[in-house]
Structure 1
């Protein structure tokens, strides 16, 4: 697990006010939505806005890859790193 993945897990927990969830409870490859962590579309919107603010990344809802980017913590980390942002 990379430090960015750990940071993202803590960020997700804090941003979405996930009670009774610890960083160690989230597998980096676990699905974030429906199965896995069980987030929903409202959570996706909140998380997307927060990620754009914190990491200065552009998330285009019309981009066909957006679901892939948000599939797991690892995918989010890869997306942020690929965007060339310093974290």
Structure 2
């Protein structure tokens, strides 16, 4: 697991207050929303803000690709890496 993947998992757990989940519980390919980790639209907003603040990047909420960027840890790591 890369440092970025680990950092993102810890960010998700901390930002969303997922006390019953550890980094080992989050699969890099599993969906973050719906049947995967089970996040919802409110979580998406909080996570988007946390990612922007933590990594000092801008996320265009109106972009058609935003949903794909937050599909999984792998997708989010690729997105963050492309913005740095």
Q: Same fold (TM over 0.5)?
A: yes
Q: Does 1:2 align with 2:2?
A: yes
How far residue 9 of structure 1 moved from its aligned partner, in angstroms, is 0.4
Distance 2:79 2:52 in 1: 12
Aligned to 1:26: 26
Count of residues paired in the alignment: 84
Consecutive unaligned residues of structure 1, counting only runs of 5 or more, are none
Aligned to 1:65: 65
Q: Which has the higher helix share?
A: 2
TM-score normalized by the length of structure 1? 0.93
Distance 1:22 1:6 in 2: 11
TM-score normalized by the length of structure 2? 0.96
